[in-house]
Amino acid sequence: MIATLGLAALWLAAALAVLQLVGAIVTLRRADNPLGAVVRSVAAVQGGLVAVSFACLIWVFLETDLSVKLVSENSHSLKPLLFKFAATWGNHEGSMLLWVSIMALGGACVALFERRLSEPAMLATLAAQAFVSIGFYAFLLIASNPFARLDPVPAEGRGLNPLLQDTGLAFHPPTLYIGYVGLSIAFSFAVGALITREVSPAFARAMRPWVLGAWIFLTLGIVAGSYWAYYTLGWGGWWFWDPVENASLMPWLAATALLHSVSVLAARNALRAWTVMLGVIAFSMSMVGTFLVRSGVLVSVHAFAVDPLRGQFILALLAINIGAALTVFALRAASISEGERFALASRETALVFNNVMLSGILGIVLVGTLYPLLAEAMGARVSVGPPYFNAASAIFAVPMLLVLCVGPLLGWRRDRLSRLTWKLWLPLAAAISAAAIALTQGVSVLSALGLGLGAALIPASMLPLVGRNLRTAKLPLWGMVTAHLGVGLALIGMASDSAFTREKLIAINVGQTVAVGPWQIKLARIAPVAGPNWTALEAGIEASYDGATPIKLAPQDRAFWAPPQQVNHSALSTRWNGQLYVVLGQQAEDGRWQLRLWWKPFVILIWLGGLMVALGGLLALLGRVASDLRRTIAIDKIAFRRKKQGR
Amino acid sequence: MNAPAIKPAASRWVLWAPLGLFALFVGVVMVALLRPADREIRSAMLGKPMPQFTLAPAAAGLPGLAHADLADGKVHLVNFFASWCVPCAVEAPQLAALKAAGVDVVGIAIRDRPEDLAVFLRRHGNPFSRIGADNDSRVQFEIGSSGVPESFVIDGKGVIRYQHIGVIQSRADIDAILSAVKEAGA
């Protein structure tokens, strides 16, 4: 019943998307067409219907309705409630419904709240959004129906991959998806602007909050995903350059570049064609990433259900959407004027540099991810790993971060570098001393470079506040400072993790003590424990930092029974200066227990910095939305007064 | 909006470049997508005789393994495994099923320790009639195996007839091996 309702709502929403597209196109051709008046409402209702459909899917998962094929394949009546909930999107069909839901809700939000765009630009944007949506509706309804039924109804479900039964998973994919799919709005804005030839600062100001919103979620999703992989996989690493990780990094890089270029367009009416291009690229990267990981063309540790037919379907969607957008770009971009000029020493130049470097990293990641495919097409088999990605992306990242120290201090249009020299002493001194101290500790050159750059970024990112009245400084400025500070902190975390981590893999008896870094680790006991759908051996660890009172840690070796799988559940202890990471392994023949221990100084800064980057985005977004609101209210007041006077 | 300094942003062909690159991308992935689903690295040794080797016994009570043992007129299933390999433990029931179906299963333990191996066999059962200790992965490399677990069907003349990469997991995997064994024996 609920499943049928969900499916019906989905079909209706798809029909409305067609109406939205047709209505917008005919109105763009003849402005007095009556359909034009309903396009916004249609977009809003479409969003509502998809939300109903998604709520229905959550419902059937929560009550474990095993007559729904998707539920019986991915859930189990014994599973904790939170994971039944998370199982809704922990599979292909559910995640595609989530994708379409976010896309439709995004369209609805634009229809309801966007006030800066002209009517034709708005119609063109909603037409583009509907065009992209229709393809995904077709994919969902034809090739991945989440509400497909089973007859006869099975007695029990198959369960969810135990690795995915984690609180982190409940929120990681939706966050990431809001980011991926949120970029579809920037895509539609860009296509709409190309169609109506309205590439202007007003367009940039209209697009900016939507880009910011998607970018914040994307940042949070990547940070959460990285931390989740770090503590559930038990490998002690936080980034693996896996195709699925790259799939989330590529849209983020493009969106980050877009965020900066849109500021140039909004403030200075420059970088016009480039900004529109990035708007198209960012969401294209979301689609390419989705295709690469869902179609099975790339082999990844994130094993999604692979179905070649689905792969072909997504590839066709991809080719149509991106192909159409790039064709419109090629046809229209020549008629977009270049925009304002600027001098070499200016904020614009620094932002252009940022864009070129981010694009460079994007290219490196894209090529590295696709290279195995390309080589395979030529008959060779290769895999591309961290040595390539780390070194190649550093080529672009290091100059970018250097310019990041200076760029925010420069004025728009034309500035003198000599004006800044006195300000740059502090970052320079910080960089040199940090790198020098690191090198005397016998750290590798790349790590020392990272530490030095991070140390420089922390004071440098705060310099734009110097000489300002902090009480009147605008929120977007605080946002920029916070985000750049976050970049510096994350960089220090990364470099410190690679430079100072102490690792130990040992087998010890109960009662024995072992040292890792400044820690004394005692294996006090091993005891069996049971959870709702697993049993485990739990180690009682007493860890003492530098002779202090021991703290208790309890890593587990869990055995799930639906489906059967062994999972290491690591235990972490976080201090201000680092993190202790303990994994319990197998028992050896002689009764000793394997333990993997890591002491990772300042590793937590990686995610803390990442969160600050997202927080910076949030501050900027709040500032922009607040000023938009003030503007809208002011315009309404004027309109109201005029009306009164006219009467 | 009065746009000043109007000048084409770039020459026209540059504007088509993104579309061209994208078409290239679609072409490459299309090739990858339409290519047969078989994505595994096949050993170049299929159809060739086993390399010469003599491996010491890896577990107490079971003989070791030499290439001569495999050319004794009977079909053998050679299973590369290790006690440290979790998927190998997953594979144990399927190997037991193959043994029950009359297949002679011999093991080659990769970089393993006798005490670990004894625990492994006690915990997961022993389907093997012989286990050779390949402590430096020499035989593994020579036969062109990429990892553990991996299994090869060897006919009575010691020629490699079939390769299964990864865990023998499903009924279909078992059936494929059984039919390869039958074919090799024919």
pLDDT by residue (tens digit) across B128-168? 999 999 887 788 878 877 677 889 999 988 888 888 887 88
Q: Indicate the residue of B5, B31, B41 with minimum beta-carbon distance to A341.
A: B5
Nearest chain A CA: its distance from B107 CA (Å): 20
CB contact (8 A) between residue B9 and residue A337: yes
Assigned domain for B18 exists: no
Burial A143-171 (b: 16+ CB within 10 A, else e): bbbbbeeeeeeeeebebbbbbbbbebbbe
Q: What is the mean pLDDT of residues A605-614?
A: 95
Model ipTM? 0.80
User: Can you tell me the distance from the alpha carbon of A124 to that of A328, in angstroms, rounded to the nearest whole number?
Assistant: 12
Distance from CA of A592 to the nearest CA of B (A): 12
**Among B24-33, B43-52, B91-100, the range of highest mean pLDDT:** B91-100
Establish if A320 touches chain B: CB-CB under 8 angstroms: no
Rounded to the nearest angstrom, the minimum Cα separation between A316 and chain B is 9
Partners of A327 on chain B (C-beta within 8 Å) are: 19
- Is there a domain that residue B168 lies in? yes
A563 preceded by a cis bond (ω within 30 of 0):
yes
CA distance A431 to A434: 5
CB contact under 8 A, B29 and A341: no
Provide the shortest C-alpha distance from residue B129 to chain A (in Å). 22
Which of A315, A327, A337 shows the shortest C-beta gap to B7? A337
| Cβ neighbours of B10 in A, within 8 Å | 273, 333-334
Asked if pLDDT for residue B7 goes beyond 50, the answer is no
- In A249-278, the residues whose Cβ lies within 8 Å of chain B are 269, 272-273, 277
Cα within 13 Å of Cα(A617), Cβ side: 26
Q: Is B161 helix (H, G, I), strand (E, B) or coil?
A: strand
pLDDT score for B11? 66
Which is more confident, A340 or B67? B67
User: Over pLDDT 90: what percentage of chain A?
Assistant: 43
Rounded (5°) CA angle A473-A475-A481: 85
Residue in B154, B127, B128 with CA at minimum distance from that of residue B53: B154
Look at residue B69 and tell me if it is in a domain.
yes
Q: Report in angstroms the alpha-carbon separations of A51 from A5, A6, A102, A602.
A: 12, 9, 9, 41
In chain B, pLDDT over 70 holds for what percent of residues?
A: 88
How large is the average pLDDT for residues A615-630?
92
**Chain A residues touching B119 at Cβ < 8 A:** 588-589
| pLDDT above 90: residue B42 | no
Least confident stretch, A12-21, A418-427, A545-554: A418-427
Per-residue pLDDT band at B35 (split at 50, 70, 90): low
Query: Which CATH number fits the domain that encloses residue B109?
Result: 3.40.30.10
**Structural domain of residue B90, as residue ranges?**
54-185
Q: pLDDT digits over B94-115, tens only? A: 899 999 988 999 999 988 888 8
SS3 B89: helix
Q: How many domains does chain B have?
A: 1
For residue A385, pLDDT beyond 80: no
Give burial (CB, 10 Å; 0-12/13-18/19+) of B130. buried
Query: Would you give the DSSP letter of residue B51?
Result: P
Compute how many other C-beta atoms are within 10 angstroms of the C-beta atom of residue A367. Answer: 13
In a domain, B48, yes or no: no
- Residue B124 in any domain: the answer is yes
Gyration radius of chain A's alpha carbons: 27
A84 touches chain B (CB under 8 A): no
Coil, helix or strand for A597?
strand
pLDDT digits (tens, 9 = 90+) for A470-487: 888 889 999 999 999 999
A327 touches chain B (CB under 8 A): yes
The confidence score (pLDDT) of residue A343 equals 82
Q: What is the dihedral of CA A602, A607, A608, A610, to 10 degrees?
A: 130
For residue A560, what are the β-bridge partners?
Answer: A534, A565
Task: Give the one of B12, B18, B34 whose C-beta lies nearest to A277's C-beta.
Answer: B18
Residue B137's region, left for phi above 0, alpha for psi from -120 to 50, else beta, is left
> What pLDDT, on a 0 to 100 scale, did the predictor assign at position A564?
65
- Please state, in angstroms and rounded to a whole number, the distance separating the CA atoms of residues A162 and A497: 28
B37 domain residue, yes or no: no
pLDDT of B3 reads 38
pLDDT at residue A587 above 80? no
Q: Per residue in B59-72, pLDDT tens?
A: 888 898 988 888 88
Of A15-24, A292-301, A359-368, B23-32, give the lowest mean pLDDT range: A292-301
Q: Output the pTM of the full model.
A: 0.81
pLDDT over 70 percentage in chain A: 94
Instruction: Check pLDDT > 70 for residue A284.
Output: yes
Count contacts between A and B (CB, < 8 Å): 99
- Tokens in use for A412? 């728009």
Q: What angle do CA A312, A316, A318 make, to 5 degrees?
A: 115
* Residue B43, in any domain of the structure: no
What is the three-class DSSP state of A455?
helix
Pairing of strands A519-530, A502-508: unpaired
CA A393 to chain centre: 18
Any B CB within 8 A of A203 CB: no
First to last CA, chain A: 55
Q: Which residues of A614-636 are buried (b: 16+ CB within 10 A; e: fewer)?
A: bbbbbbbbbbbeeebeeeeeeee
Q: Do A370 and B25 touch (CB under 8 A)?
A: yes
B141, part of any domain = yes
